[in-house]
Structure 1
């Protein structure tokens, strides 16, 4: 979700499973009026929800973006999905900002990570 260049480039740390991942893949339209402000508000909002674990985001030069948000349990994910402000932003996205998108929700059963030691 983040278009913030100052954000550190590190993946969300591995968590103790099970937890949920919501994978949002999108291609945006040329009309991005209001997107940045709404995106920043949605990031603040999701980060404030109990059960939110973190978020990874990537975009390729061709315009395909992928955001993966991680939630401790299905209740936390449902709270995000049904949040009134989020629902309004979703509608605005369909009306203005997205050419196409997909959403995949998965239960994570295994998780591990690696970080190279600092020299």
Structure 2
């Protein structure tokens, strides 16, 4: 899980919201997740992400991208595609993906 939030960004930008249900700590998941984080952080146009998981296995990851082209590069990345196939076959009971355009953004942080 991420321990910090992505601050308000200058709109417009795009979000990819990935919600999933999976067993706690399935074999190989942590390593693949770390590799996916490594890859996406290097992509031009990637702005950050936040993730959380409940003890019952529901997870939410929100990734932020400057534009749809940047998001498309991530979506079509070969290692990401392989991880998605493996996830469907082995890790996830179900998931959904929602893509959105952000037109307004702000944040607050207590000093």
Question: Is TM more than 0.5 here?
Answer: yes
Unaligned runs of at least 5 residues, structure 2: none
1:14-29 correspondence to structure 2 within 5 Å: 14-29=8-23
Secondary structure of residue in 2 paired with 1:115: coil
Q: Structure 2 length normalisation: TM-score? A: 0.95
Unaligned runs of at least 5 residues, structure 1: none
Q: What RMSD, in angstroms, separates the aligned Cα atoms of the two structures?
A: 1.3
Please say if residues 19 and 61 of structure 2, whose CA atoms lie closer than 8 Å, have aligned partners that are also in contact. yes
Counterpart in 1 of 2:105? Answer: 111
1:14-93 correspondence to structure 2 within 5 Å: 14-29=8-23, 32-93=26-87
**What displacement does 1:41 show?**
0.2
When residues 29 and 61 of structure 1 are mapped into structure 2, their CA distance, relative to the original with a 3 A threshold, is: closer
**What displacement does 1:19 show?**
0.2
Whole-Å separation in 1 of the counterparts to 2:10 and 2:55? 33
Whole-Å separation in 1 of the counterparts to 2:108 and 2:14? 20
After TM superposition, what 4+ stretches of structure 1 lie above 2 angstroms from structure 2?
none
When residues 30 and 114 of structure 1 are mapped into structure 2, their CA distance, relative to the original with a 3 A threshold, is: closer
